[in-house]
Amino acid sequence: MEVFYYPGECAQPPAGSIVTIGVYDGVHLGHRQLLERVSRTAEEIAATSVVVTFDRHPASIVRPESAPLLLTDFEQRIGLLSSTGIDVAVVVRFDAERASESAEDFVAEVLAGCLNARAVVVGHDFHFGRGRQGDVPLLQQMGARLGFDVTGIRLLGRDTDAGPAEPISSTRIRSLIASGNVVGAATLLGRWHQLRGNVGHGDKRGRELGFPTANLEVPAEMQICADGVYAGWYLRPDGTRHQTAISVGRQPTFYDSRPFSLVEAHLLDFQGDLYDELGTVELVENLRGQERFASVDALIDQMAMDVAATRHALARARPPA
């Protein structure tokens, strides 16, 4: 996938483009359904398939006090979009100036001017432009004048253990993850949810307890899961994967109050230095909630059981379809 940064770069496909627009946080199964439609349509008419996305979530500029936590950082999002087979990504810098731009100007400047759009495919409830005044009917009106078709589609739904089928959305997935339901979230993502961050230097208590951990410094804007212990995988930058018991929490056995949750990964059967590398954990199964133990020995006994439970969970786990 070729990536352009706008303004400054512009794809301008000579045979025109089939375009979709959105943040695409998480690149979940609903997103993939839409992106597949874009790719298929582009192939049928020998045009270029294009996703227009943003360098940050627009809400972080428009309403920072209530901006959603993110399922994927920018690099993860671009990597996932690339895996869908889309030809081109146009990354629009979203700032206060862009937020004040009218929907009509965005269509004329980016879709018609930069991308020579022949068709636009978006979610049926898509909104854009100043005050979210742009929507599918406006796109259809402008498309009739500027020479492109517009299709608004509903994102597919799927049953989860959290309830019956509903439209897939990043908001729904965030809610599942925040509650600790990583299996339900994976069903909608089509993959295990990932947390990643640089491995920092913690208090080294895990090593003293016999269970050394990699402490992931997950950025504050990312959606982490409910406090508890999870079975999962640790992905190193070199591509290797390791079975991992993952603790998310505030270490209540040692601290009365901690302002934020730590993400600690104990790699099973691993010895080595992980400090300062970019570590990623995949959350496969929620094993238990966070607990305060009466003694360090009781905690150590439970950690040994968590390791055994992790082995068992990963042995039976199947990748999300």
Report pLDDT for 254. 56
Report pLDDT for 6. 93
Tokens matching residue 161: 């253990």
Amino acid identity for residue 92 in this structure = V
- pLDDT (mean) for 75-82: 96
- pLDDT (mean) for 92-121: 94
Query: Can you spell out the DSSP letters for 123-171?
Result: ETT--BSGGG-B-HHHHHHHHHHHT-EEEEEPPPB--BTTBS--B--HH
pTM for this one? Answer: 0.89
Work out the pLDDT band at 60, boundaries 50, 70, 90.
very high
- pLDDT (mean) for 84-103: 95
Angstrom distances, CA of residue 214 to CA of 28, 66, 201, 244, 270 = 28, 31, 8, 10, 11
Domain 2-153 CATH class label = alpha beta
Angstrom distances, CA of residue 183 to CA of 26, 128, 172, 188, 241 = 15, 32, 13, 9, 19
Report pLDDT for 208. 59
Was domain 193-316 assigned CATH 3.40.50.2300? no
Please identify which residue in the block is written with the tokens 């409830």: 125
Average pLDDT along the chain: 90
Torsion sign across C-alpha atoms 259, 261, 267, 272: negative
Name the more confident of 166 and 302: 302
Report pLDDT for 257. 64
Pick from 13-17, 81-85, 259-263: least confident: 259-263
Task: Please check whether the two domains, 2-153 and 193-316, share a CATH topology.
Answer: no
In the chain, the percentage of residues whose pLDDT exceeds 70 is: 90
Whether residue 163 contacts residue 141, with contact meaning beta carbons closer than 8 Å, is answered with no
- pLDDT (mean) for 4-10: 90
Span between the terminal Cα atoms of the chain, in Å: 23
Report pLDDT for 157. 61
Torsion sign across C-alpha atoms 245, 251, 254, 260: positive
Does the pLDDT at position 321 exceed 80? no
Report pLDDT for 248. 93
Domain layout of the chain by residue ranges? 2-153, 193-316
Report pLDDT for 80. 97
Consecutive H or E run containing 121: strand 117-123
Query: Which tens digits make up the pLDDT trace of 242-293?
Result: 999 999 987 655 565 666 678 999 999 998 889 999 999 999 999 999 888 7
Among the listed residues 133, 125, 310, 138, the one whose alpha carbon sits nearest the alpha carbon of residue 234:
310
Query: Which tens digits make up the pLDDT trace of 153-203?
Result: 887 665 555 555 567 899 999 999 999 999 999 999 999 999 999 999 866
Report pLDDT for 52. 97
Q: Characterise 269 by phi-psi region: left (phi > 0), alpha (psi -120 to 50), beta (else).
A: left
Report pLDDT for 217. 94
Name the more confident of 290 and 39: 39
Whether residue 54 contacts residue 20, with contact meaning beta carbons closer than 8 Å, is answered with no
Give the list of residues 6+ apart from residue 310 with CB closer than 8 angstroms, or none: 231, 232, 243, 244, 245, 268, 287
